[in-house]
A and B are shown apart, each in its own frame.
Chain A
Amino acid sequence: MKIVIEDNELLALFATAGKQSEAFGLILNKYQKQTYWHIRRIIIDHDDADDVLQNTFIKVWENLAKFREDSKLYTWIYRIATNEALQFLQKKKQNLNTSFDDVSYELSEKLSVGAYFNGNQIELKLQQAILTLPEKQRIVFNMKYYDNLKYEEMQEILDTSVGALKASYHHAVKKVEEYLKKQLNQF
């Protein structure tokens, strides 16, 4: 049976002299996968997501001693991961000197090529539909749809009001719905 250690216990362990590495290993074990999937849905490419994941957890390690428990541990990790992922996309845009649409197109192409993507046609279409959304809406959609996060939790991660997040999700769902209708009616 898998034992789940509570966040406050992990933080207490991290605060104990000589136990930092052990505590960090447990935090990594607890949150690595869901953080990876969160990043992967934003970045799409596995290798890039891996880089961002590593940077995220190195930042977690470097700043964990300063974590004041004003928020939950996983929302704090998600916040770091989201910022790292968005910064990565920003750099990509700057390096390629392209717009958001171009980056979305490139990411969509990666999906079609199928590197580490084994979804069926509907899953592919859904991911492509999500990629048509503006960055913020995309993140909100993923957090609500895949991670089932509450708006209050998303508020902590994205520093956006609950009302704005609800509106964002609502628009995102509408756009995804329209995209899918168009695509699937072609068949």
Chain B
Amino acid sequence: MKEDDNDIDDSFLKGLAASGGFSVPENYFEKSIVDLKGITSQQEPLLNIKNNEGGFEVPESYFEKSANQILEKVGTKQGKKIYLNTWFTLTKVAAVLLAIIALSYVIIIKTKQEQTFSEQLNNVSEEEIIDYLAKNDVKTEWITKAAFSPENKVPSTVNSKNKEVEQYLIDNTDEQTLIEEL
């Protein structure tokens, strides 16, 4: 034991025999482990039988066939593994990815533009619109027509329940009132 282990002074043990006083018969270790001689009446050394495969045998050409089977099985697994490594497949995967990225880019940009236009329009005051229309000689008929055209129906805030109100407004509002409102 080391001296620093729990500060135990075991120096008195040094110099004692490692066997601890025990002894074994002469040549015990040489005999006991591997010497199987002398078991049979003919004193046949049994250890000599290990120069073959212990009596086992295999069918003819077994190792060649077995190796081929293993390589075949491994080849199938390899086929799965390298499937994505083929140039053709990689090109296809890359093309699909590029298409997805391009499509996503277009959708995002378009949405952004629409949002920007809508936000900009909201920031324009009513007076500015009237001034713009007056300066650019926009005829009132055009505005009326545009206001009542099917494409410019009241926005989606009007749901089906308000259809009657919408119809009422259309029927009971004359052109002059609308122009004045603008």
Which residues of A does B touch, CB under 8 Å?
20-21, 24-25, 28-29, 32-33, 36-37, 40-41, 46, 50, 53-54, 57-58, 61-62, 116-120, 122-124, 126-127, 145-146, 169-170, 173-174, 176-177, 180-181, 184
Interface status of B77 (Cβ within 8 A of chain A): yes
Residues of B with C-beta under 8 A to A177: 36, 39
Q: Which of A61, A117, A177 has most chain B Cβ within 10 Å?
A: A61
The segment out of B52-60, B95-103, B112-120, B158-166 that lies at the interface is B52-60
* B interface size (C-beta, 8 A): 32
A25 to B67, CA, bound (A): 8
Evaluate contact between B44 and A127: CB separation under 8 angstroms.
no
A122 to B40, CA, bound (A): 9
Q: Which of B50, B56, B63, B78 has most chain A Cβ within 10 Å?
A: B56
A180 to B40, CA, bound (A): 9
A170 to B75, CA, bound (A): 44
**Would A184 and B40 be within 8 Å (CB), given that A122-B46, A169-B33 are in contact?**
yes
A57 to B69, CA, bound (A): 11
Evaluate contact between B55 and A25: CB separation under 8 angstroms.
no
A-B contact pairs, 11 of them (CB 8 A): A21-B71, A24-B71, A28-B67, A50-B62, A54-B69, A54-B70, A62-B77, A118-B56, A120-B55, A123-B49, A123-B52
A27 to chain B, nearest CB (A): 11
| Majority-rule SS of B interface residues | helix
Evaluate contact between A28 and B33: CB separation under 8 angstroms.
no
Which residues of B does A touch, CB under 8 Å?
32-34, 36, 39-41, 44, 46-47, 49-50, 52-59, 62-63, 66-67, 69-71, 73-75, 77-78
Evaluate contact between B36 and A32: CB separation under 8 angstroms.
no
**Would A180 and B46 be within 8 Å (CB), given that A116-B59, A123-B54 are in contact?**
yes
| Majority-rule SS of A interface residues | helix
A116 to B171, CA, bound (A): 104
Minimal Cβ-Cβ distance residue in B for A145: B50
B45 to chain A, nearest CB (A): 10
Residues of B with C-beta under 8 A to A118: 55-57
Evaluate contact between B55 and A170: CB separation under 8 angstroms.
no
